[in-house]
Structure 1
Amino acid sequence: MKILNIRRPKAPGAEARFDIALTDQIRLFGLSLTKNADGAWRTYAPRNSGVRVASFHPALADLITRAAVAALEGEAHDRD
């Protein structure tokens, strides 16, 4: 798993937007990283016509979120 790029959006609503390579064969673009009121981070798939284009098992969502937070905080972008 590798964060390809991460950026802070100009508009409110997300702490960051990012692209990720889950494997060499699967890449996802435009994911949203948010921070809840309790301080917990969460990742959301992008929407198309108001509908989410993907969903993640909680264990995978946690791995994706931890990788994105690490990238946002300037740590390594690769996660196994």
Structure 2
Amino acid sequence: MEILSIRPVAGPKDVALYDVEITPHLRLFNVLLRKSPDGRLRSFAPKAFGKHSASFHPELAEQMTQAAIAALGSKAAYDTREI
């Protein structure tokens, strides 16, 4: 799994949008990294026509979230918001 691109976003709960390559044959674009009320970060599938375009098994969602957090950490020097 590889984070291809990550972009911090402004919003009280939304942290970043990212593009991820799950395998060489599967890429997802504009996955949302969001902070939940309990402070945990979670990945959400992009939406099409107001509905999620995919769903993730909890293990895959956690792997994607951890990869996005690591990728975002490399940009942290340029972002003053608290994650």
- TM-score w.r.t. the length of structure 1 is 0.86
Deviations 1:42-73 (Å, cap 9, x if unpaired)? 00001111110000000100000000011111
Deviations 1:15-67 (Å, cap 9, x if unpaired)? 00000000011000000001112210100001111110000000100000000
Corresponding residue for residue 23 of structure 1:
23
Give distance in 2, aligned partners of 1:72 and 1:44. Answer: 16
Structure with the bigger RCO (C-alpha within 8 Å, sep 6+) is 1
User: Identity of counterpart residues, as a percentage?
Assistant: 43
Q: Pick the structure with more helix per residue.
A: 2
How many residue pairs match? The answer is 74
Q: Pick the structure with more strand per residue.
A: 2
Unaligned runs of 5+ in 2: 76-83
Following TM superposition, where does structure 1 have runs of at least 4 consecutive aligned residues deviating by more than 2 angstroms?
none
Shift of 1:14: 1.2
Unaligned runs of 5+ in 1: 76-80
